[in-house]
Structure 1
Amino acid sequence: MTKVTSAWRVPAFRRVWGAGAFSSLGAEIGELAIPVLALVTLGASAAELSFVRAALLVPYLVLTLWLGVLVDRLPRRPLMIAADLGRGVLLLGVCILAVTGGLSIPVLVLAAALIGSLTVLYTLADFSFLPLVVDEKALIDANAKITATQSVIGVMGTGAGGILVQLLTAPFALVLNAIGYLGSGLLIARVRVAEQRRSGHESAFSEAKAGILVLVRHRVLRALVSEASIWNFGNEVFMIALSVLLLQSYGYGPIVLGAVFMAIGVGTFLGSIGSQSLTARYGYGRSLVAALLVGNSAPLFGVLFVGVPSWTGVIVLSAAFVISGIGIGIANSQAVSLRQLAVLPELRGRVNAGYRLVSWGALSIGALGGGLLTTLIGPWPAAVIGACIMATSSAPVAASKVRTMRRLDEVIPSRNSEYTS
């Protein structure tokens, strides 16, 4: 059995957890408010919505490797604080422009690109920061607690977001997104963890290349990044098409869209609270592969029932999202923990940067593809195609040696070099 200890015993983790809760609550509201802001407030087309989404995600393609080098060279905590405060201020600016009539699609695209750049920085720093806050035996529990909390917030935040966007309009709902980031930054500022500043003797290009090479050669990470990239591409196509389908084609409104998205959070919470016991009983590999197969395939079943507007279709789609969320909740805490411990600490930022470059870079391409497909063939066929792509994404992990892993220490480089070659 895999031994897992509680992360609640670490005061610094409680602050990091609280910061993530603040940030996630605001982000969940923003996840719904931004497409509504574009589609409803500004009257954007499907293609214009895809430009906004792509702007949020293109920084993962352009900046990830270089910010990964920065994260490995500098203390992570100040970087996380700066990213949080910057995102909060930018969102407040978007709200002000929207209320005063000064917001346009090009301005929203520019703001999205800046917010996306800071999100890349925060994501890379946060990934490398958590293993400094808790030890390896508590890491799976820490990630499970964070995933569970984000799932609960996903339920409350998306549901509240739908209501707030409907009642207050999208610009005012985005204020809560900004407050979430500002609150997160203040909490991270209270965390005290010893960090060393590392001087880079090699060029930034050489250091970034080193992270990519580890990612490509590492058996576990190579399978995980392949799965994540395929899923992210398909999911972005799926979500853009689904948003256009429910909001514009069927005219259901933000509350219905929020309710459907809430179902993912319900399932993810259920999966995350069971992740630790499943890992301990069946091992990382088998439980991870099973969770991916369930989570990645369920949306395809659900979207087949919304080819025409009906409340039955919405209910079936929501049920499929619950099932998908269960698989995602189980898999996320396991996969993140494996990725955090699979490489040496001094390489963690750069390897994660390479991982994000590939996996999150697929999101920006998927966003553009989703807008194009939705425009050319319509939102429902585009959503089906996206769901089909998501369903195939489990194959790289299912076909790899990841499925045979039982213990966390099998992936730690200093203990088993098999997974580093």
Structure 2
Amino acid sequence: METKQSIFKQTNFLKLWLSQSFNSLAQILIQVIVMVEVYQRTESATGPALVLATMSLTLFVSSILASYYIERFPLKRILHASGWLKGVSAISVGYFLYLDSSVGFILMFVSLVGLSFLNAWYSPARFAFLPLVVTKNEYIKANGTLVMIDQLLATAGWALGAVLSLYIPLQILIGMMALLFISSGILIQTIRLSSIQKATPKVKLTTPAWKELWNIKVVRGITIMDSIEAIANAIWTSALILAFTKVVLGVGEQWWGFINAAYFVGAILGSLLVTFKADRFSSRIGVMIGCSGLSMGILTILFALNTNPVMALILCVLMGPMYQARDICQVALLQDAIPEQRRASIMAARSSFLTPLSGVMVLVIGVTADLIGVQFVYLLAGAAYFIVSLLAFKWNELREYKLNSPDTI
């Protein structure tokens, strides 16, 4: 039993943490580098947009397939194979870009489809694998640690990718990305699970993941809340923040960059807070989710009504911890509430629904901002956060939810 040992001293968790870090960094860098290369060759904004659209569409289709078939394979094998296959896909992307021809350009997009397809399987598998590595009372701390490193990599990755693409040859960069992907897979393979962890009962599962998602009350509630929150989260796209910065705050593009950075700083601080105060969050996890939604609603409305750029930065920094705490608690709750055998498939089903919904809401909110005004959509988002908060407090299953008593791993 390892419940008294810090997760930072647990070899299996450190390997998983490092594996995800390598995977996340490689995923961000290859996306940025490909977008830069495509833009330089097409000299059009449509090229990079097509890269994102291709990856998003593939992620949606692959998530649907994963929800039906991911349970047929061991999680460790999925994560290990994903690392190697992503490495091969990255090399293919680099090779076809190097060809610098129309055929190579098309085949490069085919390789990007492969990368996104694998990512749709990697994410739910990693979600389901974490509970095999740490105990239940460590879910929040472990997720907080993983989210924190993801935020750091997301903050640095976009800037780093753009700089690297200017000074390092494409072939070397692609080789680095492939090495990171493969190293991620190798690290997963070195994780040693106990016989209890490996002994997942081989039961034929006849209920589709979609139906199972709806049957588990607390998972159904969180999915409904996420659907409503898709409206609110759409306001934090870079384009809409830029419009708000210019129209409402009346300042230039540099403040747009400051506001984006301020939110990431707050998110990292939130991850640190949750990681080191995990015990306090786990005792009333449902209440924490509700309070976070309430705080986000208040802060978003204040942000919408504010016209001072300095105050906007302060509000964004304050939002980061609130939303990050809610997100980490929610992941831990889902890992606890979903049966072990169904974790990966149900999360894939959720992704196949929430991913396109988020994309649609970004478009809807963008059109609404043009028609009615950017300040209005931020007020609308604040109201959506309030609705989510009310639902969290209303549903007894969520409000009274506590993580199950710790068990050994």
For 2:231 and 2:124, the matched residues in 1 are separated by 20
Q: Does 1:267 align with 2:266?
A: yes
User: How many residues are aligned here?
Assistant: 390
Q: Partner residue of 1:139?
A: 139
Partner of 2:94: 95
For residues 126-147 of structure 1, the C-alpha deviation after alignment (integer angstroms, 9 at most, x for no partner) is 1111111112122222112212
Q: Please state whether the residue corresponding to 1:191 is helix, strand or coil.
A: coil
Within the alignment, does 1:68 sit opposite 2:67 as a pair? yes
- The alpha-carbon deviation at position 72 of structure 1 amounts to 2.1
Contact 2:128–2:343 under 8 Å retained in 1? yes
3-state secondary structure, aligned to 1:409:
coil
Q: How far apart, CA to CA, are the structure 2 residues paired with 1:227 and 1:8? A: 32
Instruction: Within 5 Å, give how 1:280-291 maps onto structure 2.
Output: 280=280, 283-291=284-292
Q: Superposed, which structure 2 residues align to 1:243-322 within 5 Å? A: 261-276=260-275, 277=277, 280=280, 283-295=284-296, 319-322=314-317
Which stretch has the larger CA shift, 335-344 or 71-80?
71-80
1:24-103 matches, cutoff 5 A = 24-30=24-30, 32-33=32-33, 35-39=35-39, 41-45=41-45, 49-102=48-101
1:309 alignment partner in structure 2: none
The correspondence of residues 365-376 of structure 1 with structure 2, limited to 5 A, is 365-366=360-361, 373=367
Decide whether the 8 Å contact of 2:228 with 2:388 is kept in 1.
Answer: no
Q: What corresponds to 1:218 in structure 2?
A: 216
CA distance in 2, matches of 1:102, 1:154: 31
TM-aligned CA deviation for residue 123 of structure 1: 0.8
Name the residue aligned to 1:326. Answer: 321
Tell me if structure 1 keeps the 8 A contact 2:267–2:321.
yes
TM-superposed deviation, 1:60: 4.4
- Residue 125 in 1 paired to residue 125 in 2? yes
Backbone CA RMSD of aligned residues = 4.3
Cα distance in structure 2, aligned partners of 1:31 and 1:265: 19
Gaps of 5+ in 2: 245-250
Which amino acid is 1:283 matched to? Answer: R
Determine the C-alpha separation between the residues in 1 that align with 2:33 and 2:294. Answer: 31
Aligned equivalents of 2:303 and 2:39: distance in 1? 24
Larger Rg: 2
The TM-score, its normalising length taken from structure 1, stands at: 0.74
Deviations 1:99-141 (A, max 9, x none): 4423787556544432221111101111111111112122222
Within the candidate set 393, 396, 403, 1:401 is matched to 396
Q: Summarize the Cα distance change of 1:147–1:263 in structure 2 as closer, same or farther, 3 Å threshold.
A: same
Question: Structure 1: where are the runs of 5+ without partners?
Answer: 307-311, 413-421
Give the AA of the match of 1:62: V
